[in-house]
Structure 1
């Protein structure tokens, strides 16, 4: 076994004491028993498209699933995807509304 220098031993002792203090603070701290219950309807995205001359509004509703980072996505009252993540919702939105050429 290698010898420990005095400086290294002091460092180990300091880190052990700090770890013990953190553990005591964690045990004494107030922590809620459960996270708050999420609502059934978690997010709504309203898109109004003025490109055609008459405004067309699309409504995307994101409902709760068994996973906290996924949604059941409904577009205009019809199920679009089950258990889809936020980035996939934004990807679908980006692909559904492409850029249009300026006619000026």
Structure 2
């Protein structure tokens, strides 16, 4: 870490204090919202077997904004996975059927 002088410390704290005061006084300022624990739900209904089978994927919040904890049919599938990998897993789990 770089050494910080007293003068630099005072200026640093002043700049952030002024910035916070300025942004809170702006019109139309919307504070950031809290992200809910349950972020998304994906329901897949498969009609290939003759009777419909429904699978439910619940995407929960993790420590990263671009990753999810995935609960598939009530059981933990992955602890931290991105949305593109979730879709790739769905694609691999539901293969195509041969034509009749």
Structure 1 residue runs of 4 or more that deviate by more than 6 Å after TM superposition: none
Q: Deviations over 1:10-60 (max 9, x none)?
A: xxxxxxxxxxxxxxxxx7966555x21101100100000010111000000
RMSD between superposed Cα atoms in Å: 1.8
Matched ranges for 1:47-86 at <5 A = 47-86=44-83
Q: Distance between the aligned counterparts of 2:48 and 2:88, measured in 1?
A: 21
Q: Helix, strand or coil: the match of 1:98? A: coil
5+ residue gaps, structure 2, are: 1-22
User: How many equivalent residue pairs?
Assistant: 77
The structure with the largest alpha-carbon Rg is 1
Q: What is the aligned partner in structure 2 of residue 89 from structure 1?
A: 86
Q: What is the TM-score of this pair, normalised by structure 2? A: 0.69
TM-score scaled by length of structure 1 = 0.67
